[in-house]
Structure 1
Amino acid sequence: MAIRSPSLVELHAFLAVARTGSFRKAAEALNVTQAAVSRAVLRLEETLGHEMFERSGAGVKLTAAGAEWRRRVEKPVAQLEAAAIALGRKAERLRLRLSVAPSIGTLWLMPRLEHFRQLHPDVEVEFRQYHHDEDFRRDDVDLWVALKREAGQRWPRQIAAEYLVGREIVAVGAPALVRDVTSARELLALPLLYHSNYRENWALWARAVGVELPARWKGTGFDLVLNLVEAARSGMGVAVVQRCMVEADLASGRLVVPVPGAANTGRGYWLCRRRALGAHPAADLFSQWLRDQAARSEG
């Protein structure tokens, strides 16, 4: 029987470009040259008889055929990788050393972590202390989930970083507090809660929903998102916060979004990995699982 399917090399190249939106970033993620990724994708397109990407100066995006192909092959390829690791390294206990920013770890990652353990029971995850002034030169960490503090922040050259979640901020409050709120202006008349490092988030949100924040507004600041969210739950005021941090609260009804609309901070949380890390099965499995979780959360 003639083989009609592309090779695994071509599939991995295609999926890496689809995930990152860039041939350069895909090459970095796969630890190969950009030319090798381009050739692999071209071979795949020739085999299937369809263009998978629309290429432009701004980058690449999936065509309709490319999106359909990704939907069909992404999970099977991930399962094949997991099977190869499980069979080829059966006797080896896989270990991942992870450093995660505290708030995203507690509010977003921890509720999901049991799902990863069930999928990959052989992987041992060890959490290491998170450093807010991280320079990514530690050798006791394999992966970081780190906060991008400024929209224009550049990651160190030795780090490959990809966005996960947390760019989008929304205004939330306890149901009893915001029951009668019908507009952004009414919401801004309530006690305002904010992250003390990002007081400007309220102005950013107000502009996004088409109102002006009072010039001399006052509120209560918190240096941890954990405390900010807890204050909002208690009815102390309304908070502007990353949507991913309050997913569970919104689902349970502890918090609500009284005024539709969101703002993009350009920051968020990023998955960071040393380029020199090389082959690391546990890191690869966790990274793919984390991307899937982030895609669901952002979607």
Structure 2
Amino acid sequence: MKIHSPSMSELHAFTTAARLGSFTKAAETLCLTQGAVSRAISRLETHFGQPLMKRSAHGLTLTDAGRRLADATAEPLQAIESISSELRSTAGRQHLSLAVVPTLASVWLVPRLPDFHRRHPEITLSFAAYRRDEDFSQATPHAAILSGLPHQWPQCHSDYLLGREIVVICHPDRLQARKAAGLWTDPGQLLQEPLLYHANAPDNWQRWFDSVGVAGKPPPGTALDQVSILVRAVMADMGIAVLQRCLVRDEIATGRVVSPFDIPVSLDRGYVLCCPQQRKDHPALSAFRAWILEVAARERQAA
């Protein structure tokens, strides 16, 4: 049978340039020179007998043929690259590269990892840089814990972990003072308090008030861009905040903060473990997935 497909190196050069929109960026990613990438794509165009890309001052533009080739080859090449990387090293079967939302990593995951290492001492876990729009286009990470909805990543195997439930927290002294004054008998009275919220989730207060039956629009509050800063602000009695329960469970348990109205309120979004379909049966990932699903389910039930 005559083989019509070109070489892998030429396809890698083409798909990388198509994805990044630049020969220079493709060369940096593939550890090649710009000329090598350009020549590889030129050979590819000669092989197919038609142009695949057009260069302009604004970057690269795919021709119709180029778009068809990119759409047809990007995912298979990624799968081949992934399995090739794993098969080249037996040790790779016992190594897992993971990217995690930084706040969840520091507050929730890392304190629980000793249990995972006790159960699976043979597995080496490393952390890759977190990208909010992770597309698994690189060899690592093998998996990622991202914030959103499971169906946001249709090409991935996704499992919801936790993080949908939100809770209001305040300083214990603030709660005691309001109770002593006969206030905070219903959630609507929180509208008179200074509200704090995470800059990436400005609608959480509105969603919380809607869920507990309080009509009206919350007043403008103070936005902070890190959960740790929000918690510190509450502990300094700067106001009250609404946060995901899993991120403040320890502070509530130790009494450093309290929940004035501990009413179950859930959002659609949460933390999701995602990986490419072709990696879901990776031995180290399978072990980690089973462990983290068990831990997350146990904590959801205890909430």
TM over 0.5: yes
Structure 2 residue 170 is the aligned partner of structure 1 residue 170: no
Q: 1:241 to 1:160 in 2, by over 3 A?
A: same
2:191–2:218 CA contact under 8 A, matched in 1: no
Structure 2 residue 208 is the aligned partner of structure 1 residue 211: no
Q: State the partner residue of 1:201.
A: 204
Q: 1:184 to 1:124 in 2, by over 3 A?
A: same
Give the drift of 1:140: 1.1
Give the drift of 1:260: 2.5
Distance 1:91 1:145 in 2: 23
1:201–1:240 CA contact under 8 A, matched in 2: yes
One-letter identity of the residue aligned with 1:118: R
Q: State the partner residue of 1:265.
A: 267
Give the drift of 1:157: 3.5
Q: State the partner residue of 1:298.
A: 300
Q: State the partner residue of 2:239.
A: 237
Secondary structure of the residue aligned to 1:154 is helix
Write the deviation string for residues 202-238 of structure 1: whole angstroms up to 9, x where unpaired. 111011112124x360211012223222222222111
Q: State the partner residue of 2:224.
A: 222
Q: 1:113 to 1:263 in 2, by over 3 A?
A: same
Write the deviation string for residues 129-167 of structure 1: whole angstroms up to 9, x where unpaired. 10122223221111111110xx5x733343111111011
Distance 1:237 1:204 in 2: 18
Which residue of 157, 160, 171 corresponds with 2:157?
Answer: 160
Write the deviation string for residues 164-187 of structure 1: whole angstroms up to 9, x where unpaired. 101111111121122224331233
Segment drifting more, 192-201 vs 134-143: 134-143
May I ask how many residue pairs the two structures share in their alignment?
206
Give the drift of 1:252: 1.0
Distance 1:296 1:235 in 2: 32
Give the TM-score normalised by structure 1. 0.64
Write the deviation string for residues 26-45 of structure 1: whole angstroms up to 9, x where unpaired. xxxxxxxxxxxxxxxxxxxx
Secondary structure of the residue aligned to 2:95 is strand
Q: State the partner residue of 1:187.
A: 190
Segment drifting more, 176-185 vs 93-102: 176-185
Secondary structure of the residue aligned to 1:141 is coil
2:162–2:270 CA contact under 8 A, matched in 1: yes
Which structure 2 segments of 5+ residues have no match?
1-89
Q: 1:137 to 1:160 in 2, by over 3 A?
A: same
One-letter identity of the residue aligned with 1:285: A
Write the deviation string for residues 110-134 of structure 1: whole angstroms up to 9, x where unpaired. 1111111112112111011101222
One-letter identity of the residue aligned with 1:274: P
Distance 1:139 1:177 in 2: 50
1:203–1:212 CA contact under 8 A, matched in 2: no
2:93–2:282 CA contact under 8 A, matched in 1: no
One-letter identity of the residue aligned with 2:131: H
Report percent identity of matched pairs: 37
Write out the 4+ residue segments of structure 1 that deviate beyond 6 Å after TM superposition: 90-93
- For the pair shown, the structure with the greater C-alpha radius of gyration is 2
2:169–2:240 CA contact under 8 A, matched in 1: yes
1:93–1:124 CA contact under 8 A, matched in 2: no
Give the TM-score normalised by structure 2. 0.63
Write the deviation string for residues 54-110 of structure 1: whole angstroms up to 9, x where unpaired. xxxxxxxxxxxxxxxxxxxxxxxxxxxxxxxxxxxx998821111000111111111
Whichever structure has more helix as a proportion of its residues is 2
1:159–1:274 CA contact under 8 A, matched in 2: yes
Distance 2:218 2:210 in 1: 16
After superposition, where does 1:119-134 map in structure 2 within 5 Å? 119-134=119-134
